[in-house]
Amino acid sequence: MSEIIEAVQKQDPGSELVTLFDLEYADGSFAYFTSNYDSSTIQFRDSSGAAQTYISLPIEAEGFDISSDGSYSRPILTVANIASVFSDAIGMEFEELIGRRITRRLTLKKYLVGESGDSGAGNPPVEYPKTTYVLDRIKDKNIIQVTFELAAPFDIAGITVPRRQIISGGCPWKYQAASPTLSEENKRGGCIWHATGSYRSGNIYVNQKDEYIVSSALTFTTFSTSATAGSYYKTEKTGLTQVNSSGEYVTPSSTVYDYWQCLVDTSTTPSDTSSDWRRVRIYYGYSSASTYEAYTDTSYNEYVLYNSILWKVKTLTQDANAHNSTPDYNNYWTRGDACGKRVSSCSKRFHATPDGSGGVEITTTKETALPFGGFPASRTYK
């Protein structure tokens, strides 16, 4: 601490200020972001001296002033919402972050890993005192940006009991928190969807956009003039930009496809606006010897199945035999099977039937009731 104070007291400290954010989006799991744009990622050490990688994102933070009297400050954190940059980076919806802790860290650029002032692995970081807040509420949300209001962890006056806010058409339960794989004492809430997507003697995987994710081992025919109900097809996708393992934007290294399931016999060209088709995504069995690609349009980032859990590449392509990490909650992977928190998200799962080959039958099983009629906000209790 004395080292950084001595540096900033100089007329020219010789390095610019760097702002970092540690977001605990799940118990014991962190995402690391910075509002500095010198590079796509930077590294800074945690309290144990281990280097953590911070991803550069469009973030603006203000109101972090500290006063010895009066009310506690409630800082404002604004993140870009264009193409869901922030939520895609952590694999969660904004509403799921309410109540989570975020720590703001300040240091000088010269103390980042690899810079002249870095004291090396195993040594504590050189930084200002850290400040930790709770994401208290979403103050504003539009297609351009999302604004969170933060609160000090001990400034929780005025909260209501129960804490859960019920919104019509929105699910309040934590996804898979009451999975049959959990012991009774560890189950939370009402979402009973299996942690590995196991259902009806098969597996069902669905992403946040309510798109089915099916096995790459299925047969995908290049669409030409006609299609058969229940079969899978592909069409070439152009105009994508790949993000390589160094964070550089490049032309895709191989042909990229859109994948579709035909719902009725048709000669209509596959599209999201045609009722004859539904878009699907594909997953691969994980192998460290395979390359899994990421794009600026993260909808096309590739999915893998690892230890019975579906994962999706987060922001950087993972090169064969040089993966940054195996799939887990980290800066390189995010959960692929994720809930959109809508009635349709429940329906996609509980009304589906696996086809036994890693795909989904085109007919739905309507007689299966959704839990709680969908979820608590979907009907009135008396």
* Predicted confidence (pLDDT) per residue in 361-381, tens digit: 998 776 667 776 555 544 433
Banded pLDDT at 65 (limits 50, 70, 90): confident
State pLDDT tens for residues 317-341.
999 999 999 999 998 999 999 998 8
CA dist., res. 42 & res. 52, Å (int): 8
| Position 382 pLDDT exceeds 50 | no
The CA distances from residue 378 to 11, 160, 178, 293, 371, in Å, are 61, 22, 19, 38, 10
DSSP, collapsed to helix, strand or coil, labels residue 25 as strand
Burial of residue 329 (CB within 10 Å: 0-12, 13-18, 19+) is middle
CB 114 within 8 A of CB 143: no
φ/ψ of residue 154, rounded to 5: -95, 5
pLDDT top residue among 255 and 70 = 255
Tokens linked to 376:
């608590």
Residue 148 and residue 134: Cα distance in Å, rounded? 10
At 122, give phi and psi (nearest 5°).
Answer: 85, -10
CB atoms within 10 A of CB 305: 23
Q: Which of 25, 92, 34 is nearest to 314 (CA)?
A: 92
Please report the pLDDT score of residue 70 as a whole number.
Answer: 57
Residue given tokens 């940059």 in the structure block: 85
Q: Is 241:249 a contact under the CB 8 Å cutoff?
A: yes
Do residues 207 and 336 make contact, with C-beta atoms less than 8 angstroms apart? yes
Cross-strand pairs, 151 = 134
Cα-based angle 232, 235, 237 (whole degrees, multiple of 5): 135
pLDDT band at 174 (very low <50, low <70, confident <90, very high): confident
* Nearby residues of 168 by Cβ (< 8 Å), 6 or more positions away: 377, 378
Encode pLDDT of 179-217 as tens digits: 989 888 888 878 889 999 999 889 999 999 999 999 999
What percent of the chain has a predicted confidence (pLDDT) above 90? 48
Query: pTM for this structure?
Result: 0.60
Question: What would the two tokens of residue 251 be?
Answer: 């032309």
